[in-house]
Amino acid sequence: MTDQTATPRSFSASVPLKGGIAIPGDKSISHRSLMLSALAVGESRVTGLLEGHDVLATAAAMRAMGATIERRDDGEWRIHGVGVGGLLQPREALDMGNSGTSTRLLMGLVASHPITTTFVGDASLSGRPMGRVIDPLSQMGADISASPGGRLPLMVRGLTPAIPLSYRLPMASAQVKSAILLAGLNTPGITEVIEPVPTRDHSERMLKGFGADLAVELGSDGTRHIRIRGEAELKPQTIVVPGDPSSAAFFIVAALIVPGSDITIANVGLNPTRAGLVEVLQQMGGDISLVNARTVGGEPVADLRVRHSALKGIAVDPAVVPSMVDEFPILFVAAALAEGRTVTTGLDELRVKESDRIAVMAAGLKAIGARVEESDDGLIIDGTGGDPLPGGATIAGHLDHRICMSFAIAGLVSKAPVTIDDIAPVATSFPNFEALLAGLQQ
Ligand code: S3P
């Protein structure tokens, strides 16, 4: 059945991209800014908040549970928190839209509060596995009833006091880690997460910044032990959200593959747990230089100057996967334009993102004439060596913002236009994506 409300959009061979842009705030940090501010006692102020649908879903949920959250005309957000333990029972189901981060982190938050909360979401989110958070949160005492397969809609009946837990993550997931730490905030004693493979550490940095008693210790086997002491009191903060490297990624790759391009992307967050793509593209021969490296809101940030480059295929080290887990769709587009073969492995987690990003990227890239082979846990791509792709296909975006944006960029280096069946999902993480692209094409 065709979706009558879908908004198709075509992207065609581009003039060189020139000029400068600033990309919107980091999605992960924006979610956490709202959640932690809503649990602090007093008023927090946040600038640079990403105003995409996913983050707005978190804002609406925190409001529904008692926080006062306002956006001022100058773009600053002011949040009055309810205090740890003070979340109120929402009157209606929390609508998480497309946002896995909102869902999993909030499930953690409510698991140790004496409230019952129902979570619902769109078709993409309702297909995603929640068992990974249901298991540890149930061990902490929450009573969770989910739809078949551990999916949404689901209901969490929180337990206070919850039972502290020491939990070894069975998969590399910052969302699961964060859900447990957030549940630990209102749990007596020490809650511990053991992380065999490091994932984005925004929760650890921000919880400490808000005054929680949190410590990270490295085990002799390289595992990270993250311990939080519960029944914490969080102090309100003033937060400046750095630009999202996962959004910058689309323009980094666009400038590398569109001949003649030379752009500067301001204020890009380069936390080492997020910056894998820049490293990999540099290994492929990408001309990316870091300018004006500095610290913003406790996070490393720089401006990136990116120039068109002749990329070469490489075997991507699976150890970098967690530091660029959201960037593989756009890396695949870069690989499709590189000279030679790019091999990616260890990408099992991509199959449970907003879509199965291995299968969906393989199908879409083949449809526009790229040479791609799918394996269990990655793609093998033989690039064009810089020649344009044939293009001329309509791509199913599967309600996945990063799929839509990746094929939009692929359209810029295709002979015939690439059409995305529905561009709307882009607004979940990057509402001004098309406007920024148009600005660089002037
Ligand atoms: C996120 C963690 C990652 C990432 C998502 C945001 C976060 O998910 O894909 O976009 O903010 O913690 P996983 O934890 O499932 O890898």
Domain residue spans in the chain?
A: 3-25+242-440, 27-240
CB of 173 sitting under 6 A from ligand 1 = yes
CB of 175 sitting under 6 A from ligand 1 = yes
CATH architecture of 3-25+242-440: Alpha-beta prism (3.65)
Query: How far does the centroid of ligand 1 lie from the alpha carbon of residue 170, in Å?
Result: 15
Q: Which atom of ligand 1 is nearest to the CA of 203?
A: 12
Question: Is there a shared CATH topology between the 3-25+242-440 domain and the 27-240 domain?
Answer: yes
Rounded CA-CA distance 353/216 in Å is 27
Q: With contact defined as beta carbons under 8 Å apart, do 148 and 123 qualify?
A: no
| pLDDT tens digits, 199-222 | 999 999 999 999 999 999 999 999
CB of 365 sitting under 6 A from ligand 1 = no
User: Mean pLDDT, to the nearest integer, of 131-141?
Assistant: 98
| pLDDT tens digits, 223-241 | 999 999 999 899 999 999 9
Residues annotated as catalytic are 326
- CATH 3.65.10.10 corresponds to the domain 27-240: yes
Extract the tokens encoding 76: 């600053």
| pLDDT tens digits, 237-271 | 999 999 999 999 999 999 999 999 999 999 999 99
- DSSP 8-state symbol, 79: E
Extract the tokens encoding 78: 């002011």
CB of 103 sitting under 6 A from ligand 1 = no
Rounded CA-CA distance 311/309 in Å is 6
- Which helix (H) or strand (E) covers residue 334, if one does? helix 328-337
Position 438 pLDDT exceeds 60:
yes
Position 432 pLDDT exceeds 70:
yes
Mean pLDDT of the chain: 97
Query: How far does the centroid of ligand 1 lie from the alpha carbon of residue 178, in Å?
Result: 10
User: Mean pLDDT, to the nearest integer, of 371-387?
Assistant: 98
Position 180 pLDDT exceeds 80:
yes
Mutational pocket test of ligand 1: of 26, 27, 28, 133, the residue with most ligand atoms within 8 Å of the beta carbon: 28
Position 1 pLDDT exceeds 70:
no
Q: Please, which pLDDT band fits residue 296 given cuts at 50, 70 and 90?
A: confident
